[in-house]
């Protein structure tokens, strides 16, 4: 089901340079296999929101039991820690598009090997003004790579962001929820099971708002796929 991402260096059998250790390697990704070992897997985590759990005694965290999110499941394999934190920041804020295939590979690592049934992939949309400033939507780039690898349909236009909200990173959890109200719009989709694609899940406010809107249009199951999960130090 999973296809390898091909690059010019792979087709020409040229060596790549690892963005972490600056050494030549034969893989076709921006990070070599030895450096990949420094990106620690998330381990046991809540199946609903991917927040770390001490063991596999329970599948759902207490927060999701008390207040279930609108999305049904989060597929995330790694915590938002170094060196992955710097790689994601390089990708998003410093035009590090060469990292896209590597980050998509990390997202594939979080998916089950079989019985996968998502019918369509949808990126978290950006407001047009923010899109012009950054020049690209990182979630849309990841979406296209994943969809092509898994041979799943994707849609880049049905969900839009119509309010140019304050950046979520500067807000607390309550402010994030309030900041996103009525910020998104989603047209009807001919799918019952979709996956929302983004680089990072922090409080889940963005994913939750989008999932809520999608379910109001008739979607029955909404999953979240991200590269990393932010984990509180508390």
Domain count, the chain: 1
User: Given a cut of 80, is residue 3 above it in pLDDT?
Assistant: no
Average pLDDT over the chain, rounded to an integer: 88
Q: Which pLDDT does position 113 carry in this prediction?
A: 77
What pLDDT, in 10s, does the model give residues 108-121?
999 987 666 799 99
What pLDDT band is residue 2 in, cutting at 50, 70 and 90? very low
Helix pair angle (205-216, 173-180), 10° resolution: 30
What pLDDT band is residue 172 in, cutting at 50, 70 and 90? low
22, part of any domain: no
Task: Report yes or no: 171 and 201 within 8 Å, Cβ to Cβ.
Answer: no
Region 58-87: what's the mean pLDDT?
95
86, part of any domain: yes
Q: What is the CATH number of the domain that holds 156?
A: 3.40.50
Q: ∠2-88-234 over CA atoms, to 5°? A: 110
Q: Which pLDDT does position 12 carry in this prediction?
A: 46
Task: Say whether the peptide bond before residue 83 is cis (omega within 30 degrees of 0).
Answer: yes
61, part of any domain: yes
Range of the domain at 154: 41-229
67, part of any domain: yes
Q: Which of 90-99, 129-138, 170-179, 188-197 has the lowest mean pLDDT?
A: 170-179
The pTM for the full model equals 0.88
What pLDDT, in 10s, does the model give residues 126-165?
999 999 999 999 999 999 999 999 999 999 999 999 988 7
User: Given a cut of 70, is residue 14 above it in pLDDT?
Assistant: no
Task: Report yes or no: 222 and 211 within 8 Å, Cβ to Cβ.
Answer: yes
Alpha-carbon 150 to chain mean position: 15
182, part of any domain: yes
Token pair for residue 157?
A: 């236009």
Region 43-62: what's the mean pLDDT?
93
Which residue would you say has higher pLDDT here, 233 or 152?
152
5, part of any domain: no
24, part of any domain: no
11, part of any domain: no
């Amino acid at each position: 089901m999973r296809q390898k991402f091909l690059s010019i260096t792979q087709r020409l059998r040229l060596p790549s340079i690892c963005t972490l250790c600056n050494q030549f390697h034969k893989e076709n990704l921006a990070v070599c296999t030895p450096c990949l070992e420094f990106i620690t897997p998330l381990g046991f985590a809540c199946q609903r929101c991917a927040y770390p759990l001490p063991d596999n005694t329970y599948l759902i965290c207490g927060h999701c039991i008390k207040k279930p999110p609108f999305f049904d499941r989060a597929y995330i394999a790694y915590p938002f820690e170094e060196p992955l934190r710097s790689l994601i920041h390089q990708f998003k804020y410093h035009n590090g598009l060469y990292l896209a295939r590597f980050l998509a590979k990390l997202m594939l690592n979080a998916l089950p090997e079989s019985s996968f049934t998502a019918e369509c992939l949808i990126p978290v949309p950006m407001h047009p003004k923010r899109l012009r400033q950054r020049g690209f939507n990182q979630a849309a780039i990841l979406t296209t790579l994943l969809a092509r690898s898994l041979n799943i349909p994707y849609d880049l236009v049905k969900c839009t962001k119509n309010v140019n909200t304050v950046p979520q990173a500067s807000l607390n959890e309550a402010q994030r929820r309030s900041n996103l109200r009525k910020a998104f719009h989603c047209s009807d989709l001919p799918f019952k099971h979709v996956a929302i694609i983004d680089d990072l899940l922090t409080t889940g406010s963005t994913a939750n708002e989008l999932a809520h809107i999608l379910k109001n249009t008739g979607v029955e199951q909404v999953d979240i796929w991200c590269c990393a999960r932010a984990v509180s130090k508390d």
